[in-house]
Amino acid sequence: MHTNFYIAGPHLYQETFGLAPAHLQPGQRFVHRPGVTVSQQDNVDEALDTVNSAMIHYDARYAQQTTWKQPLMVSTVTLQRLIGMTAKTFGRRRRIVRFASLAMKRPVFGGDTLYAETEVLGVEGAMASLRTTGLNQRDEVVAQIEWQAELDAALLPHNPALEPRFASHRQREDGAWVEQVGLFFEDLREGETFIHWPRRSLTAHEAQRQALRSLEISPQFHDLELAASLSQPTPDVPQTWVLSAVTALTTRTFGRVNANLGWVDVEFGAEVRTGDTLEARSTIRQTRSSASRPNEGIATVDTEARNQRGERVLSYTRTLLVYRRDADNPYRAAGY
């Protein structure tokens, strides 16, 4: 089996993802999960941000007169989403060397959900030849991409955690390997700590955007002149966004969560500035059955985040409602 974790110490696990060339062989098929639903806003943003003058992507009145009768998704949105979805298996790539072919088989529209599956065509040294097929929510092929990627030839770190609960893929009856993310309730053990990966760097543009989208009009978050007068290189980072970013870092281990029941004891430490890189780790404090929801259990988790200087920037305790492995849950029904 391949694993999403390796052992970093007693009761301590480091998250990881991606297979090395030594793990791949021609004929293997990987089913990438989850999928992603694309919106007309994604379409408009991609077209306008890239100065795409094909108005079929953002002029609905014009698009109504075309064969499609609605705005057509920019092909590069489809490409970016499909290649991005392969990262859990092929995330150890150093670079894409070439796209041998990019075939768009069927139109994609706002509201469609994209899924990706990849067949390994060949492996030579660190180079992998791949064919990624994109499908929509009706299992119709929308794109087929043949590409070559240079992968990191180094094997995963020493001491991989090879318990079945940590498996990165499960094999379907047809032989394909379906990606797995997150631990079920039965997999959570009190006292175990998980170092979440990858880390997250915060940029000034993101901080300003998050503040404005949250109606946070206080000038300390977006006024460059105010920041300069305070001898700060950039405006402040909203603390609510720091909490959001850190919580999101934990979702690779806690990917089987049905609901976040809330936080307590949220404490901010060293001030977060744009350009900081945050790393989070979580310890399972307690697990217990749910009296009212037999398909789920309740986990209490302590999380802390530190910046690149090792300073604690945030800590909190969170309570989660987590699906049980063998109970009625949505994963197999959704093809996960």
Nearest to 274 by CA among 222, 321, 326, 312: 222
Q: Is the pLDDT score of 222 beyond 70?
A: yes
Answer whether 13's CB lies under 8 Å from 161's CB. Answer: yes
Contacts of 111 (CB under 8 A, 6+ apart): 37, 38, 39, 40
pLDDT at position 247, please?
97
| Structure tokens belonging to residue 251 | 């979702």
Nearest to 247 by CA among 166, 326, 316: 316
Calpha distance 92→19 (Å, rounded): 6
Contacts of 139 (CB under 8 A, 6+ apart): none
Nearest to 33 by CA among 182, 146, 155, 195: 182
pLDDT at position 179, please?
97
Calpha distance 254→235 (Å, rounded): 32
pLDDT tens column, 70-126: 999 999 999 999 999 999 999 999 999 999 999 999 999 999 999 999 999 999 999
Contacts of 284 (CB under 8 A, 6+ apart): 188, 189, 190, 191, 192, 193, 299, 300, 301
| Structure tokens belonging to residue 170 | 């499960």
Nearest to 100 by CA among 80, 130, 60: 130
Q: Is 115 helix (H, G, I), strand (E, B) or coil?
A: strand
Calpha distance 268→122 (Å, rounded): 49
Calpha distance 217→226 (Å, rounded): 13
Calpha distance 284→301 (Å, rounded): 5
Calpha distance 42→176 (Å, rounded): 31
pLDDT at position 124, please?
96
Answer whether 145's CB lies under 8 Å from 100's CB. Answer: no
Answer whether 280's CB lies under 8 Å from 321's CB. Answer: no
Q: Residue 169: count other Cβ atoms within 10 Å of its Cβ.
A: 21
pLDDT at position 155, please?
65
pLDDT, mean of residues 35-48: 97
Q: Is 254 helix (H, G, I), strand (E, B) or coil?
A: coil
Q: Is the pLDDT score of 43 beyond 90?
A: yes
pLDDT, mean of residues 300-328: 96
pLDDT tens column, 255-293: 999 999 999 999 999 999 999 999 999 999 999 999 899
Q: How large a percentage of the chain has pLDDT more than 70?
A: 99
Domains, the chain, ordered by start: 18-155 (3.10.129.10), 186-333 (3.10.129.10)
pLDDT tens column, 129-162: 999 999 999 999 999 999 999 998 776 667 999 9
